[in-house]
Structure 1
Amino acid sequence: MTAVKRAFILLLIALAIRSAQGHQQIYSVVDFHAAADGKTDDAQAFLATWQAACSDPSRPVMLVPGRRTFLLSQVTFQGPCKSPITIRLDGNIVAPNGIWTTKPADLLAFHAVNGLTVDGNGEIDGRGAIWWDCYNKRLLGFSLCNDLTVRRIHLKDSAEKHMTLFQCSQVIVDSVSITSPADSPNTDGITVAWSNNTYISSCSIQTGDDCVSILSYTKNVTVTQSTCGPGHGISVGSLGRFETAKVEQVTVSNCTFVGTMTGVRIKSWQGGKGYAKGFLFESLNMTDVQNPIVIDQFYCPQRNCHTEPGGVAISDAKFIDIQGTSSEQEAIQLMCSQSVHCHGIYLSNVKLTWAKHTAPANAAILNAHGTTEGLVVPGIQFSNNL
């Protein structure tokens, strides 16, 4: 085949692809009779739009148009679909301003949808305040969704967790903002569980609980270029309370924490089983964080737990280039159990000072083994006995 003929064929292929993209079908929820008045439940219109788009083999777009507000009670978007699908969320979605179910539920759930993209400038408002003293409901949930992208949208005031990823693989969450009051209970920003290969970048998360929480049976999670606070920090766990823990290869880099309870934390229950290994916490800035670096094998938020033998084995955790201030004197806590010590802890170029105090910050170390290199403030005295 001559070079000219080959180039001509490539041109035809490119034109065919461009033509196909040009005929990409857009399905607007308004065309499927969504009232878009913020008062009428548009769940059935959204489901009808989804069914039409999900059946289209030409990479369709489901449009939630801008400058409109759509009221939704609980909606589940079920896959698989005929092709990858994009939801363009430009308008706003609000939850009912009342108790709409007594069963566990997500306001919006996506199940077994591969190749899904959720993108846009719109907002999902969970109106969660009415739930915070009674039932807990999540805002946006994805389960069994592979090749998932969530970009730019804003999540607000979930009743409980704002975004959950369960049994998902190859996920990108980019430029998403999440807000809820600092005293709102259990309002984690993004929760990742039983999932592989999750990349979270350029997000702003201000909540009443963990900005990002990483739970058991999860591998290869990266959180980068993001801000956290208020909230409880970026946490691995809690692990080991109900199932054998398996977490590995977690990276948190180039993130900023302001006024959070912890910065980066690995937390597990006493008596748990399993492992958590392969952590890199790097290039982090802390401002008025209570305890910027935490490993806690005695996690017990109710403070009434009995001492139990055993624990989740925590190993290979690196803390590199972490600077800033703590609001408590104990800037670093590495608290590991007598029966299952922590191993392979490494700190380098860490400088944490006690904000608004002339006294230096300090570190609490128990049953933790590791090394330091270069400047590490406060100083670390690792356990010598195995």
Structure 2
Amino acid sequence: MAAMTRALLLLLLFVLAIWSAEGQQRVYDVLDFHAAGDGKTDDAQAFLAAWQAACSDGRGEPVMAIPGERVFLLSQVSFQGPCKSPITVKLDGNIVAPNNIWTKQEASLLTFFGIDHLTLDGNGEIDGQGAIWWDCYSRKTCQDRPVLLGFARCNYLTVTRIHLKDSAEKHMTLFQCSQVIVDSVSVTAPADSPNTDGITVAFSNNTYISNCAIQTGDDCVSVLSDTKNITVTQSRCGPGHGISVGSLGGSETAMVEQITVSNCNFVGTMTGVRIKSWQGGKGYAKGFLFQTLNMTEVQNPIVIDQFYCPQGNCPIKNGGVAISNAKFIDIQGTSSEQEAIRLLCSQSVPCQDIYFSNINLSWANQTAPANATTLNAHGSTAGMVVPRIQFSDISFS
């Protein structure tokens, strides 16, 4: 009996040891895979080796660790899935791109592709060293510039705390992703850096962006076609071009719905919240809520533009992306130009069901009241709306 008791006890201890081991996160440190971390040696192969080991670990929730107080130079790296377990990339060190023109094709410095239940978290920074690219672009010698951080076909994705800096072009892209949380991420690039959007969402759904601080040379957040249920909240934008939906309908049939921007601050941006589409486009964009927003010297705080044409001299075309059911509620602050609100809609496909309530926007110049321009926009207002909106079929409640 005593021998049987000892055997059962040993078996129990063995099972508990297995459970304990399975419950621990195994850490795959890039330094253990021969990353130099000196900011000079290309550590791409070491990162890929660490990723492959972590991604192949099916015994729990492995961690790929990028330690602090180190700088890792990376050329183009693509982390492929699927992985055998939910996986975390812990970025505490800094990653830098090569300080040269390292590609002539569309690319991302870092790409995560086909990975479900991925978390990217840490206090580290990814620096795109974009200045050389911006100069190349201004001289018209760079046709394609790389994105800093790209996610494609990643579901149940979480990105938190990291800092993105000076991308050659867009900083973060989400393409064909679902169930995404981006929280407490910061993005910085000079106000005159070209096309350096902060976060771009396309062909994705159920994305929640919160507590982010974005300073760029283009849109802080841009929402492109084939998107649904996208929320941006508790975030700061500026400098930059604002938070934009579009441009839509340029080469694709637009499908955008259920977009919310709430509790955000805009400081010194070109626009605040904007929906923009090309003449002659097809498709729809509907179900917008822009609520509890504060504007500080924003050039044009509220814009709907169905005549988007950044290069100018676009030919007149009939048709357009149907924009409808857009609510603007509790928006306060100042515009740096007298035109605080611009609603420019197509005669053939006018904007429908546009609603304004509790709007108070003044011209920062203070020499005259702010004003609003409307064209082929149909909707209603409630409560105080300053400047006054003159809809095509306005009704007051």
Matches within 5 A, 1:51-200: 51-57=52-58, 58-132=60-134, 133=137, 134=142, 135-200=144-209
TM-score using structure 1 length:
0.95
Tell me by how many angstroms 1:16 deviates.
Answer: 9.3
Matches within 5 A, 1:282-293: 282-293=291-302
Tell me by how many angstroms 1:136 deviates.
Answer: 1.3
Are 2:379 and 2:393, in contact at CA under 8 Å, matched by a contact in 1? no
Tell me by how many angstroms 1:356 deviates.
Answer: 2.2
TM-score using structure 2 length:
0.92
Partner letter of residue 292 of structure 1?
A: P
After TM superposition, the runs of 4+ consecutive aligned structure 1 residues lying more than 3 A away are: 15-18
Secondary structure (helix, strand or coil) at the match of 2:366 reads coil
Tell me by how many angstroms 1:268 deviates.
Answer: 0.1
Matches within 5 A, 1:1-386: 19=20, 22-57=23-58, 58-132=60-134, 133=137, 134=142, 135-384=144-393
Equivalent-residue separation in structure 1 for 2:22 and 2:361 (angstroms): 52
Mean CA deviation greater in 300-309 or 128-137:
128-137
Are 1:160 and 1:188, in contact at CA under 8 Å, matched by a contact in 2? yes
Residue deviations 1:268-309 (CA, integer Å, cap 9, x gap): 000000000000000000000000000000000001201100
Tell me by how many angstroms 1:384 deviates.
Answer: 2.8
Tell me by how many angstroms 1:358 deviates.
Answer: 2.5
Q: Which residue of 1 aligns with 2:11?
A: none
Equivalent-residue separation in structure 1 for 2:22 and 2:241 (angstroms): 43
Q: Which residue of 2 aligns with 1:9?
A: none
Secondary structure (helix, strand or coil) at the match of 2:274 reads strand
Tell me by how many angstroms 1:103 deviates.
Answer: 1.1
Equivalent-residue separation in structure 2 for 1:179 and 1:243 (angstroms): 30
Equivalent-residue separation in structure 2 for 1:359 and 1:379 (angstroms): 14
Identical aligned residues as a percent: 78
Secondary structure (helix, strand or coil) at the match of 1:332 reads strand
Cα 1:320–1:26 shift into 2, 3 Å: same
Tell me by how many angstroms 1:113 deviates.
Answer: 0.4
Residue deviations 1:116-166 (CA, integer Å, cap 9, x gap): 000000000000111122241100000000000000000000000000000
Equivalent-residue separation in structure 2 for 1:384 and 1:55 (angstroms): 61
Secondary structure (helix, strand or coil) at the match of 2:317 reads coil
Tell me by how many angstroms 1:24 deviates.
Answer: 1.4
Q: Which residue of 1 aligns with 2:12?
A: none
Secondary structure (helix, strand or coil) at the match of 1:266 reads strand
Equivalent-residue separation in structure 2 for 1:91 and 1:266 (angstroms): 37
Equivalent-residue separation in structure 1 for 2:380 and 2:177 (angstroms): 35
Partner letter of residue 62 of structure 1?
A: M
Cα 1:52–1:348 shift into 2, 3 Å: same
Secondary structure (helix, strand or coil) at the match of 1:331 reads strand
Tell me by how many angstroms 1:20 deviates.
Answer: 5.1
**Structure 2: where are the runs of 5+ without partners?**
1-15
Tell me by how many angstroms 1:19 deviates.
Answer: 2.9
Equivalent-residue separation in structure 2 for 1:370 and 1:21 (angstroms): 59
Secondary structure (helix, strand or coil) at the match of 1:50 reads helix
Secondary structure (helix, strand or coil) at the match of 1:47 reads helix
Equivalent-residue separation in structure 2 for 1:17 and 1:44 (angstroms): 32
Are 1:131 and 1:137, in contact at CA under 8 Å, matched by a contact in 2? no
**Structure 1: where are the runs of 5+ without partners?**
1-14
Mean CA deviation greater in 351-360 or 146-155:
351-360
Cα 1:306–1:16 shift into 2, 3 Å: farther
Mean CA deviation greater in 18-27 or 241-250:
18-27
Equivalent-residue separation in structure 1 for 2:386 and 2:21 (angstroms): 59
Task: Count the aligned residue pairs.
Answer: 372
Tell me by how many angstroms 1:210 deviates.
Answer: 0.1
Are 1:154 and 1:178, in contact at CA under 8 Å, matched by a contact in 2? yes
Mean CA deviation greater in 341-350 or 353-362:
353-362
